[in-house]
Chain A
């Protein structure tokens, strides 16, 4: 399996622009997670989906952030408008239900976002 695939790997944009991050989870995994990682705050869960349905979006910073999962093999995280404080590495992860609520996460290699 190719693992979780994220694109782009790097994104540099100007403040006020729209940014769209993309994720393809591992086939057969029914949970998908979006995380943000910074040096100061570490890994923070933004939102997660189960069977394409958003379950918990309490970590989404504000209305500028939105996430969708139109089908089992694709998800997007959109920031509009972007701000310099959104600069971070954004990770997508997926997992299977098979081993229960604490089955391990499989992470992609992230998108490094820089907003100038």
Chain B
């Protein structure tokens, strides 16, 4: 059964203190792994899609990497505005469907 586990559940950093969030996944075949950001009271907002092991994508202070079993979201020198919940989701290669399996997220707080 497809499964996504994110860790830690919550993380608090000081401004400028770099860290990484983890997304471990189990899927028969990976069509894509997605990172989204969710602010309180809002819907998730798309950040990245990764397709194959070894792939990396960057956007401002965020960099996402992918291996065959997990993905990391690296946050370099975070700012208070990076505070949000970060969600990871995977899409199975099997079938012609658009179903995503989601993790529960990591709640990130960045202190000024």
A residues within 8 Å of B by Cβ? 4, 31, 33, 42-45, 48, 50, 55-56, 91, 93, 95, 101-102, 104-110
Report B-chain residues with C-beta under 8 Å of the C-beta of A4: 43
Contact A101 to B31, CB < 8 A, known contacts A42-B103, A48-B98, A56-B97 = yes
**Chain A residue, CB-CB nearest to B31:** A102
Would you call B45 and A107 a contact (CB within 8 A)?
yes
C-alpha gap A63/B103 in the complex (Å): 26
Interface size class of B (residues with CB under 8 A): 20 to 34
B104 within 8 A of A: yes
Q: Are B97 and A43 in contact (CB under 8 A)?
A: no
B59 within 8 A of A: no
Task: Give min CB distance, A76 to chain B, whole Å.
Answer: 18
Secondary structure type dominating chain B contacts: loop
Q: Which residues of A contact B66 (CB under 8 A)?
A: none
Q: Measured between alpha carbons, how far is A102 from B100 in the docked complex, in Å? A: 9
| Chain B residues proximal to chain A, CB less than 8 Å | 31-32, 34, 41-46, 49, 51, 87, 89, 91, 96-100, 102-105
Contact B87 A43 (CB under 8 A): yes
CA distance A66 to B28 in the complex (A): 31
Please list 18 pairs of residues, one from A and one from B, whose beta carbons are closer than 8 Å in the complex, sorted by A's number.
A33-B98, A42-B105, A43-B100, A43-B102, A45-B99, A48-B98, A48-B99, A91-B44, A93-B43, A102-B31, A102-B34, A102-B49, A105-B46, A107-B45, A108-B43, A109-B41, A110-B41, A110-B42
Nearest CB in chain A: distance from B99 CB, A: 6
**A109 B43 Cβ-Cβ under 8 A:** yes
Inter-chain pairs besides A48-B98, A56-B97, A93-B43, 7 sampled, C-beta below 8 Å? A42-B87, A42-B105, A48-B99, A101-B96, A110-B41, A110-B42, A110-B43
CB of B98, distance to nearest CB on chain A (Å): 6
What CA separation (Å) do A50 and B96 show in the bound complex?
A: 12
Chain A residue contacts of B42, Cβ below 8 A: 109-110
Interface centre among B49, B87, B99 (most CB of A within 10 A): B99
Expressed in whole angstroms, the Cα–Cα distance for A33 and B45 within the complex equals: 15
